[in-house]
Amino acid sequence: MPLEFMDRVSAQFRKRLPFVVYKKPKQPQITALFQSDKKLHSVQNFTETGFVMAAFGWEPTLLLQIDEKHETQFDLKFFPNRIKRKEVHENIVQKRLHLDLVRRSLVCIKEGDFQKVVLSRKIEVDFGKNPLELFQNLLPNYPNAFCYLWFHPKTGLWIGATPEILLRVKNKVFTTISLAGTQPYKGRDQILWGKKELEEQNLVTDYILEVLKDKAANIQKGEIESVRAGNLWHLRTKISGVFLEEGLGPIIKFLHPTPAICGFPKQPALDFIHNNEDYDREFYTGFLGELNFDSETNLYVNLRCAQIKGNKAMIYIGGGITQDSDPEREWEETVAKSRTLLEFM
């Protein structure tokens, strides 16, 4: 980033004052939003204006108050070139625990408790870089993702490069996506998807359409397409329409969490997650983004993210489990997803 812009963000961080710096997918603008005090603001009804950061379980749902705004343009000459990525090694203990978790979920699916559940894990690694440097490294490597660095002294430092839109709205016209299915990018533009990935994608799409059918008009469902995010391929379906009622709050409440980050049916999948994952997801698989900026809202699901605490970084990854899941392949998928951030640490 230009030196003046970097200095402003660094100064805000040194003062331990809240900020977020981010770049939206495929757009050249980088934005930094500063809050002038350390107060913890919360969203009440989604009529507020600011930058929202919501946890997986909704609490907390934070609002960064915009007291100062800075912008610059994305220009590769200000950014590192694609860096040599670190090799990612498997953790045998974590692998055994994750395989066991997947197998337990498959038993529940076979018994009819739910059709899909999204299971995740957390990797803790040493971290000795400037977080702003890590953010800069993400930008040229993930141009199609929402890249961000968020800080509040009362909730900590989070960074991510997420490929998934939760909701875009302008004057009641909305766009959302269903995103499911993952394969590693192997240097080819042609990708073949299996039954498991296609059924998982259809399940997420059908859920979103069902949620929106009484709340929107002119609903349009796009074709399933393969999209690349860094070193991964995903399946994506765009859904658009016009909301019939005022207020984002009820719509977001119905959408989040979708089967793409939780499972289906929602409540039994949530129960399994809470009873079997051995940690608190916090802001991982929550959502974040611009709320009511000039009548426009852009919210993203918080995937491919990490929390930085001192000289440690906690990297969060997960994947959807269905009746056709193979535990070994599910483990390999989380390893591939971990590379989004782990290779830059």
Could you tell me the pLDDT band of residue 33, with boundaries at 50, 70 and 90? very high
Instruction: Inform me whether the pLDDT recorded for 80 exceeds 60.
Output: no
- Which CATH fold would you assign to the domain 3-75+82-342? Anthranilate synthase (3.60.120)
Tens digits of residue pLDDT in 196-206: 889 888 999 99
Instruction: Inform me whether the pLDDT recorded for 179 exceeds 80.
Output: yes
Both tokens assigned to 72: 């610059």
Tens digits of residue pLDDT in 93-118: 999 999 999 999 999 999 999 999 99
Could you tell me the pLDDT band of residue 85, with boundaries at 50, 70 and 90? low
Domain spans of the chain? 3-75+82-342
What is the reported pLDDT for 16?
97
User: What one-letter code names the amino acid at 307?
Assistant: Q
- Residue 165 CA to residue 26 CA, distance in Å, equals 13
User: What one-letter code names the amino acid at 41?
Assistant: H
What is the C-alpha radius of gyration for the chain, rounded to an integer number of angstroms? Answer: 19
- Residue 66 CA to residue 49 CA, distance in Å, equals 8
Instruction: Give percent of the chain above pLDDT 90.
Output: 70
Both tokens assigned to 244: 């019939």
Both tokens assigned to 131: 């977080």
The answer to whether the beta carbons of residues 302 and 61 sit under 8 Å apart is no
Helix, strand counts (H, E) of the chain: 7, 18
pTM: 0.92
Q: Which residues pair with 232 in a beta bridge?
A: 184, 229
